[in-house]
Amino acid sequence: MWFRVDNRLIHGQVIEGWLPYTNARHLVVANDELAHDSIRQTIMQMAVPRKIDVRFVCVADLAKTIASFGDANVLVLYETCDDVRGASEAGVAMDVLNIGNLHYADGKIQLYPHVALSSDDIATLRNLASRGTAMDFRAVPTQSVKAPHEPLF
């Protein structure tokens, strides 16, 4: 089970890097808005190899969805830290959370070139870290894992 937050969701780094790295046969996108947008789902599915089972689910349904896969390798994508928080509150346990890409916007702190966090994002990640979730800050699996910045975490 691998969890990644990346506001781009399904894109080249996921298809070419993370799917092979995780050996996932199931790709689950947990985002309430996308779970109800069949047009965006169709567009995203076109990028995924046919051998990969793709599901788009509401955050509240994620625990039930991943439980249905048993011991199979699964890659879960979140668009935002809000999605991560919602999944955690709905009972999804994450040993490791890969923070892959979160674009900069006003009010966010640029932590790494590929990660900018709001105060709410930081609170969510701190909460998860305090409960044992390891934070993995990297865009692609070939990068070395960056530790969270001490003042933030």
Residues with a known catalytic role: 11
Report the distance separating Cα 63 and Cα 88, nearest Å. Answer: 9
120: alpha, beta or left? (left if phi > 0; alpha if psi -120 to 50)? alpha
Judge whether 102 and 121 are in contact, CB under 8 Å.
Answer: yes
Judge whether 129 and 135 are in contact, CB under 8 Å.
Answer: yes
- At 64, list the tokens: 């039930």
- At 60, list the tokens: 């509240």
Judge whether 152 and 122 are in contact, CB under 8 Å.
Answer: yes
| Nearest of 110, 103, 101, 98 to residue 135 by alpha carbon | 98
